[in-house]
Amino acid sequence: MTTPAPSKAPEMTPEELAAAIAEFDLNRHTARLLVDEPFFAALSRRINKKASGALPTAGVRVTDDGHFEMLYNPAFFAKLTDTERAGVLKHEFYHLVFDHVTGRLPDGGMSKLWNIATDLAINSHLVGELPDMCCMPGEGPFADMEKGKSAESYFATLKKKQEEQEGDGEPGEGEPGEGDSFDDHSGWSEGAGAAQDIAKERLKESVKKAAEEAQKANSWGSVSGQCRRDILDRIVPKVDWRKVLRYFIKTSQRANKTRTVKRLNKRYPYIHAGSKVRRQAKIAISIDQSGSVDDSMLAAFFSELNKLAELAEFTVIPFDSEVAEDYIHVWKRNEKRKWVRVRYGGTDFNPPTKYVNAGNFDGHIVLTDLCAPKPIRSRCQRMWMTTKAYADRPYFQTSERIIAIDG
């Protein structure tokens, strides 16, 4: 059974609050608590943290001028271990990152069920880091719920349970605090407004800068791969890869000049034949068929090739640690093909790069999981395409474009 959440205590007097801050001032300890959390540390520097005796634990809110603020009870924090203090900080910051504070709501708006659902979703990623009072999937009243679900999923489950209970209302009612959110959600906003709109833009920019710092540090700390992808999905603009590909092909084109009697020669009319300029691009697409690329990913790659064929003709180069030269072929425009595996070894990007360099191609697209060392330099412009799961964590750093596809 979970420990009951703190009851609504009387607000501290100014003297009591000052004494509590003297015992534990969160602003003096935040950098130390988040020393191994580059993402959260960077985000924390952009969030004002204010001691308050008006709430029993902690909470985040949007201020009237469109800033974010974390309120915390210093007496509550003083009783926690450092692990729990860091866990509560990350819990509150996750509420910001996933838009719980700025209007991400289910049908019907804000409710106790939604508050609990958001906490369950966040706490799934903070196992062993929070005070016992926190609701956790797989424990206490939520023992039958799996970890790692979205807030919307937990909300649907809680709502179904509520409807099945006769006259009990929402989960936890009847026993004070059991199953409640441990932190304060009263500062969350439901509606639109100038402050809300400003806050959303500021938050997006803050999260983006924090993510950039984490990427630069080559560490996201305890942020799971799924959370990292969710965060990046929220801050990185969606890319229409077809537009990117059209631009890639256009910028790879070269002019081929041929003689034709159908056009006059501007310098020597009626003496020499005129010329006709045709712009085209010779595109190579290398498709990774190594053992790290499973059949579902390979099928996703071929699905993209069928879409690419709607735009251009290209040469397909299957490879793993070597190029499968017997299977190199030209994929005609608008041609449809089924996926087929011809290799199953390790991964080396150098063989297909050498093949393309020797083949006088104008552009090179590599479909891969990016799980191999950085290849040699390409003589033509090169672009990488991979699934969303791998796009944000390539094995090597590159200034070349990486496009995420569904799969």
pLDDT in tens, 284-341: 999 999 998 988 888 888 888 888 888 888 999 999 999 999 999 999 988 888 888 9
99 C-beta neighbours (distance < 10 Å), count: 17
In the prediction, which pLDDT does 46 show? 92
Choose among 32, 83, 82, 26: nearest CA to 59. Answer: 26
In the prediction, which pLDDT does 186 show? 66
Nearest-angstrom CA–CA distance, 151 and 286: 40
Nearest-angstrom CA–CA distance, 40 and 220: 8
Question: Please, is 375 exposed, middle or buried when counting C-beta atoms within 10 Å of its C-beta (0-12, 13-18, 19+)?
Answer: middle
Nearest-angstrom CA–CA distance, 118 and 151: 5
The residues facing 184 across adjacent strands are 59
Buried b (16+ CB within 10 A) or exposed e, 56-92: bbbbbbbeeebbbebbbbbbbbeebeeebbbbbbbbb
pLDDT in tens, 135-191: 999 998 899 999 989 888 998 999 888 888 755 544 444 333 344 566 667 666 554
Are the C-beta atoms of 145 and 119 separated by less than 8 Å? no
In the prediction, which pLDDT does 298 show? 87
Rounded to two decimals, the pTM is 0.59
Amino acid making up residue 379: R
In the prediction, which pLDDT does 253 show? 66
Three-state DSSP class for residue 208: helix
In the prediction, which pLDDT does 13 show? 87
In the prediction, which pLDDT does 191 show? 47
Q: Which residues of the chain register pLDDT less than 50? A: 1-7, 169-179, 191, 255, 277
Max CA distance (Å), the chain: 102
In the prediction, which pLDDT does 193 show? 63
Segments making up each domain of the chain, as ranges? 14-235, 241-254+281-405
In the prediction, which pLDDT does 357 show? 95
